[in-house]
Amino acid sequence: MKTATPLTIETRLYNGISIVPEPATLMFSGPMASVISRSTASQYPVTKLRVSPRIGTADRFVSLPDGIQLQCADGPLLDRLPQEGRTEGLVAWLEHRWWVALFSLMVTVMALLAGYFAGLPVAAEKISARIPIEYEKSLGEESLAWMDQRKLFMPSDLPSETQGLLEGSFRELHQGLSMDAHYRLEFRRAPAIGPNAFALPGGIIVITDEMILKTGSPGEALAVLAHEIGHVEQRHVMRHVLQNSVVATVAATLTGDASSLSLAVSGLPVLLAQAKYSREFEAEADEFAFALLRQNNISPGLFADLMERLSEGRGEKRQSWSFLSSHPVTASRVMRARQAARE
């Protein structure tokens, strides 16, 4: 049989039995390939050969049908042989090019920014609106029971008349809202936590005795409750869970390689990214509260008064650290509330 000069590749042959390699020459022309080493000379149909995927500039392996492997330097000749995996060849082609890498980098950065600032919050809002709040109920009960068990929450010392009065105005406040049927107000004493109020999953709102003692009027207590109602109406619990888990997952994917220091490297950026979402939820709940209060003829200024009183004891954190905080700076919340009171 006459053919053109055969193409040859110098290789090292591993027969799978001995660990010692043998030098061998792979030649192919037309439909047949032959492998010639000092100890063997065999022929194979070219279609039965398989070349391992290209990766960087590393040597590649040609597998022969009888289990022998040939190691050889990467080169264009190998592209003429049947490949082991088709998709990997395409990916290898992409990986080989700097312009593809730079394009990927650009697209990745843009996608991450767009996803973080716009896509994720919007998607979380849309998705949470479709999940009935009933699903959160058991979660809320669990959290409340957990706080009670740990003695973080203790039974309230407030007289039942005070509780009854507040409950009445609370009911009036959330009447007609979309989550109306799901609200429940709980009073707890919480010496370990201090003056605070929480919107738990499923519409359970907890207000601490310490918070009520700080209020100068029932209106101020209602201002706080309006803020928590804002969290419930806008499904912040669900959105918080969705957004934070996506942020954590993406961060883990990005830094997965540097696993020895993965947490050390990604921990702080993830916290910052999540804190920004948290501040946005707070601001959103504030805005909701101001509108709700005005509808009920309560001045949003009361919210400002209470916030100021609460911050007196603490000494507000410096403005420069605000990006670390889960809540917006008090001064700006107060300012916004006073502005809303004038509107």
Partner 1 sequence: MNDKNPTLVPADLRSSGSTTVNSNPASPPSQPGLTLQFTGSAGEYFRIWIVNLCLTLFTLGIFSAWAKVRKKRYFYSHTLLDGTPFQYLGQPIPILKGRLIAAMLFGVWYTATHYVTSLLPFVLIAAFILAPWVMVRAAAFNARYSAFRNMTFSFAGTYTSAAKVMYGWAILALVSLGMAFSWWQQRLKKYIVDQTSYGGVNGEFSATGGQFFKTYFIAGLLFAIAMIAAFMLLSIGTAAGGENSFMVAWVVGIYAIYIMAYAYIQARITNLVWNNTQLGPLRFKSSIGVRSLLRLYLTNALAILATAGLLIPWATMRTLKYRADHLSVIATEGLHEFRGSEDGSVRAVGAEVGDFFDFDMSI
> Judging by DSSP bridges, how do beta strands 7-14 and 22-29 pair with one another?
antiparallel
Residue with tokens 């009670």: 148
CB of 207 to partner 1, least distance (A): 22
| Side chain identity, residue 119 | G
255-294 binders of partner 1 (CB under 8 A): 255, 257-258, 260-261, 264-265
Among the residue ranges 151-159, 222-230, 252-260, 299-307, the one whose residues contact partner 1 (CB under 8 A): 252-260
Helices 236-255, 218-233: axis angle to 10 degrees equals: 50
Rank residues 94 and 129 by Cβ distance to partner 1 and give the closer one: 94
Phi-psi region of 91 (alpha: psi -120 to 50; beta: other; left: phi over 0): alpha
Looking from the CA of 224 toward its CB, the CA atoms found within 13 Å total 29
Q: Which of 136, 186, 220, 228 is catalytic?
A: 228
Among the residue ranges 65-73, 225-233, 272-280, 281-289, the one whose residues contact partner 1 (CB under 8 A): 65-73
Among the residue ranges 83-91, 164-172, 302-310, 326-334, the one whose residues contact partner 1 (CB under 8 A): 83-91
Rank residues 12 and 279 by Cβ distance to partner 1 and give the closer one: 12
Q: What angle do CA 207, 208, 213 make, to 5 degrees?
A: 110
Should residue 132 be labelled a site residue for partner 1 when binding is judged by CB under 8 A? no
Residue 210 in tokens? 């310490």
Q: Kindly tell me the sign of the dihedral angle through the C-alpha atoms of 121, 124, 126, 128.
A: negative
184-213 binders of partner 1 (CB under 8 A): 201
CB of 55 to partner 1, least distance (A): 5
Rank residues 5 and 253 by Cβ distance to partner 1 and give the closer one: 253
Q: Does the annotation mark 210 as catalytic? A: no
The DSSP line for 20-73 is: S-EEEEEEEETTEEEEEESS-EEEEEGGG-EEPPP-TT--EEEE-TTS-EEEE-
Rank residues 253 and 297 by Cβ distance to partner 1 and give the closer one: 253
141-160 binders of partner 1 (CB under 8 A): 142-143, 146
Among the residue ranges 17-25, 152-160, 208-216, 297-305, the one whose residues contact partner 1 (CB under 8 A): 17-25
Q: What's the rounded Cα separation, in Å, for the pair 110 and 119?
A: 12
Q: What's the rounded Cα separation, in Å, for the pair 241 and 274?
A: 10
Catalytic residue positions? 228
Chain positions contacting partner 1, by CB under 8 A: 10, 12, 14-23, 52-53, 55-59, 61, 63, 67-69, 71, 73, 87-88, 91, 94-98, 100-101, 104-105, 107-108, 111-112, 138-139, 142-143, 146, 201, 245, 249-250, 253-255, 257-258, 260-261, 264-265, 317-318, 321
